Structure 1
Amino acid sequence: MLTRIGLFLLTNLAVLALAGIVMSLLGVNSASMAGLLVMAAIFGFGGSLISLLMSKWMAKRATGAMVIETPRNDAERWLVDTVRRQAQAAGIGMPEVAVYEAPEINAFATGANRNNALVAVSTGLLNQMTQDEAEAVLGHEVAHVANGDMITMALLQGVLNTFVIVLARVVGGVIDSYLSGNREGGRGFAYYIIVFVLEMVFGLFATMIAMWFSRRREFRADHGGASLAGRQKMIAALERLARNHSESTLPTQVAAFGITGGVSQGLRKLFLSHPPLEERIAALRQSTAA
């Protein structure tokens, strides 16, 4: 975890340094530049890191997930025992295990620490999947925790947020100066409109980058689930999801960490957090053949 945080902090510092060089070349006042860089870092990372730290609490509150403190039946006992075994195999601390009410087959994992995470499954999953299929889904979620995906996504979002804030203001300042003919650095009302529009545009590109990474990590978690539960079980679980697929009812806070995401066509695919199930199944089969 510390290595990952260090790498992302270095990446963010590199972004800020590059922005500083660009702003210096454009003649932006050094004092205002320093303030912008500090402001961008605070706002860029602040929201994503706070969301990460609160992720377990938010997920429980948003889904109504009930943590299994003491198993009340064989299904709950099997869930806890399976997650414990997989967590030990993955080399992480035992996550909290929870169940939430939802008709679709789904599950998610979240938490700021790979040794203090949450793995939750829907009642739809318990009712519609075989034990082998459910075991693979749990392996997929445990793999997310072991890979540190929640931490990585939060830090990546922080870097992208920082980049959007800095770039929108740098480009907005240049455009405003050109349109107004003001070279003294003063900012009129038009500047703030330009910055708002640029943040929307750059934010779309940032979202596409984040979702591209999210789709990559789903393939990795599938392979992790296959390692923990068995490749054929993982393939069977994904095939079950493909046959019974319905739109996820998970709230936005945890939707990206569910076993499956939405279905879309065309350019909207660029904004999906999960790749198509058919591609995930094919990737596992190809790795089997290899």
Structure 2
Amino acid sequence: MMRIGLFLLTNLAVLIVFSIVFGILSRFFGLGAVHGAGGLNIASLAVMCGVYGMLGSIVSLFLSKWMAKRSTGTVVIDQPKSTMEKWLVETVAKQAKAVNIDMPEVGIFDNSQPNAFATGWNKNKALVAVSSGLLHSMTPDEVEAVLAHEIGHVANGDMVTLALIQGVVNAFVMFFARIIGSFVDRVVFKNEDGPGIGYFVTSIAMDILLGFLASAIVMWFSRQREFRADAMGAKLAGRDKMIGALNALRPAEARPDQMPENMQAFAIASGQAQGFSIANLFRSHPTLDDRIDALKKYSPSKS
């Protein structure tokens, strides 16, 4: 129920902001209706898709830390209550200082699977959280490397970058889906009086098909940011510690992912099988073997 509520809340926020922004743009830039007697108004359609596509990602980005805390049950460490919590906060503080970002919030979420994530709309307003399973199953050196990996995501601005890429992709999918829908409606269904059933059915079908194909582009960027975060982990904590941490994730990778779906792209472990397959084109993380091979070739001078 929590995930459904957060999903509905996010989409409601997007619709409200979209209505306001598109209304302002239409008034001040003289944009007409998207559909007219002559067919689609390409300029209005482009603006509508651009605004809606980007707004969805931007609103999700600004809500990301709040949603992450609630969807995972993360408890932020305000005052350390144990030696472990004190060490976590001090380690993150040291790593944040090394990459010149403000101290992120540090939290722990209850999950038996070893995992961690970083999120936030700004590198200086971030959250780094680790699972209880990770703390129980990894050595301090491995936990240090995981924290460094997450700090790498924050320092590299990966949350913002991925949100912008997703927004651009969303806009293009919406735009071309409606172009194709209009073409089918007018040419196949011979509808010259405005959008008919052919337009709506085709647009929906193209939203699904193009969205599926476009997700491969987004996931490619997501996999590249994992390599960069691993390199940062090796730089801050040491290459051997980072390789050790990835090897320690192998048991988790063999099990179904326990992270909420909206957080899986931001987690260090993705619960995926190893080896190449077409399905890997749509995964947010490279295989552990690929990540470890990249680290073996890593040199601090490259970062």
TM-score normalised by length of structure 1: 0.86
The 5 Å alignment of 1:1-290 reads 32-182=41-191, 184=192, 186-245=194-253, 246-264=255-273, 266-287=277-298
For the 8 Å contact 1:231–1:284, the answer to whether it is kept is yes
Contact 1:262/1:274 (<8 A) preserved = no
Retained in 1: the 8 A contact 2:177–2:203? yes
The one-letter amino acid paired with 2:195 is R
Q: 1:220 to 1:29 in 2, by over 3 A?
A: farther
1:120 and 1:62 mapped to 2: Cα distance?
13
Q: Gapped runs of 5+ residues in structure 1? A: 1-27
Distance 1:65 1:254 in 2: 12
Deviations 1:199-250 (A, max 9, x none): 1110011111101110111001000110111111001101111245333211
Please say which of residues 118-127 and 257-266 is displaced more in the overlay. Answer: 257-266
Judge which range, 235-244 or 156-165, deviates more.
235-244
* Contact 2:57–2:167 under 8 Å retained in 1: yes
How large is the RMSD of aligned CA atoms in angstroms?
Answer: 1.8
Paired AA for residue 86 in structure 1 = Q
The percent of aligned pairs where both chains have the same amino acid is: 49
- Tell me how far apart the structure 1 counterparts of residues 247 and 233 of structure 2 sit (CA, whole Å): 14
The answer on whether the counterparts of 1:110 and 1:254 sit within 8 Å (CA) in structure 2 is no
- Provide the rounded CA distance (Å) in 2 between the counterparts of 1:149 and 1:141: 10
For 2:201, give the aligned amino acid.
I
CA deviation after TM superposition for structure 1 residue 181, in Å: 3.3
Q: Distance in 1 between matches of 2:286 and 2:103?
A: 28
Q: String of CA shifts for 1:114-160, please: whole Å, max 9, x gaps.
A: 00100000000110100000000000000000000000111111000
**SS in structure 2 opposite 1:287?**
coil
> Structure 1 stretch 240-249 or stretch 71-80: which is displaced more?
240-249
| Cα distance in 1 between the residues matched to 2:172 and 2:115 | 33
Q: Distance in 1 between matches of 2:251 and 2:61?
A: 33
Bigger relative contact order, structure 1 or 2 (CA pairs below 8 A, ≥6 apart): 1
Cα separation, 2, equivalents of 1:107 and 1:118: 11
Structure 1 position 254, deviation (Å): 1.6
Task: Give the conservation status (yes or no) of the 8 Å contact 2:89–2:106.
Answer: yes
> Would you say how many aligned residue pairs link Structure 1 and Structure 2?
262
Q: Which sections of structure 2, spanning at least 5 residues, go unmatched?
A: 1-36
Structure 1 residue 30: Cα displacement = 8.8
Contact kept, 8 Å, 1:139 with 1:229, in 2: the verdict is yes
Q: Is the 8 A contact 2:39 2:194 kept in 1?
A: no
Shift of 1:90: 0.9
1:178-201 per-residue CA deviation (whole Å, 9 max, x = no partner) reads 21234x462211110011101111
> Cα offset for 1:260?
1.3
| Aligned equivalents of 2:78, 2:51: Cα separation in 1 | 38
Contact 2:111 2:133 in 1 (8 A): yes
AA at the equivalent of 1:214:
S
Give the TM-score normalised by the residue count of structure 2. Answer: 0.83
Shift of 1:37: 1.6
